[in-house]
Amino acid sequence: MTPLSIFQDWKRNSIKGRIVLTMFRIAHIATLHPLLLVIMVPYLIIYRVCIEWVLGIEIPYKLTIGKGLALHHGQSLVINDNTVIGENCRIRHNTTIGNKQNKDGTYSGCPVLGNNVDVGANVCIIGEITIGDNVKIGAGTVVVKDIPANSIAVGNPARFFPASPPIEINHLIITAA
Specify the amino acid at residue 22: T
Residues sharing a CB contact under 8 Å with residue 52, sequence separation 6 or more, in sequence order: 58
Q: Is 66 helix (H, G, I), strand (E, B) or coil?
A: coil
The active-site residue, picked from 28, 33, 73, 93, is 93
Query: CA torsion angle for 58, 109, 159, 86 (degrees, to 10)?
Result: 60
Report d(CA 102, CA 73) in Å as an integer.
31
Report d(CA 150, CA 144) in Å as an integer.
18
28 tagged catalytic: no
Residues serving a catalytic function are 93
